[in-house]
Structure 1
């Protein structure tokens, strides 16, 4: 899942944090992931903005997993000392099979 997010971020993302917890409903089981990515510099921020736009409808190809939900929880940007953006994402992965 992380490599798919890095690809969606055009190789410009740095992983700041990843937390995973089990998730289940009456009919499905899986994991909920909370991921924070940093994009440093103007080019990286442009890649991060593209990730924000693409994430909700992106078709992930993760063997044995189905991404049931993917959303941007927060976006923090600073301009100085250099432009950077941090994205907090949440993804729900269900066991496929």
Structure 2
């Protein structure tokens, strides 16, 4: 007898799939579009967040820019991020901020930028 979890509990599996895609994927995609083609994605993390009236999640996204030509793009990304209008169905980006930026000089300069986002469920 074949024991397929999807066959036994299709709604659970579909819900897990939706959660796996979740708003973080759209957020990440839009952040990388804003950062531009010279940005390298390093990492994403997410942790639940709630208050008395809202629930959602805090997301941290780290990107890096390497090479002299990409430093202008890094500056443009850092300047544009806090006021950027994100479009994520079912979510409101309540806050977007640069929380750290590291710069290493040398023949191939590198700037690493960590941004944090607060996504609230739009009920």
Q: What TM-score comes out, normalization by structure 2 length? A: 0.74
Aligned residues: 97
Residue among 32, 35, 41 paired with 2:58: 32
1:89 aligns with 2:115: yes
Q: Contact between 1:6 and 1:12, CA under 8 Å: does it hold in 2?
A: no
1:71 aligns with 2:107: no
Structure 1: distance between partners of 2:69 and 2:117: 25
Per-residue CA shift, 1:9-52, capped at 9, x if unaligned? 12221111211000001111101011111111123221111111
More strand by share: 1
| Alpha-carbon shift at residue 81 of structure 1 (Å) | 4.1
SS of aligned partner of 2:69: helix
Structure 1 or 2, whichever has the larger Rg, is 2
Structure 2: distance between partners of 1:11 and 1:65: 26
Per-residue CA shift, 1:41-94, capped at 9, x if unaligned? 123221111111111111111121110001001111112241110001110001
Residue among 60, 63, 70 paired with 1:44: 70
Structure 2 counterparts to residues 57-68 of structure 1, below 5 A: 57-68=83-94
More helix by share: 2
Structure 1: distance between partners of 2:93 and 2:69: 27
Return 5+ residue gaps in structure 2 as ranges. 1-26
Higher relative contact order (CA 8 A, sep 6+): 1
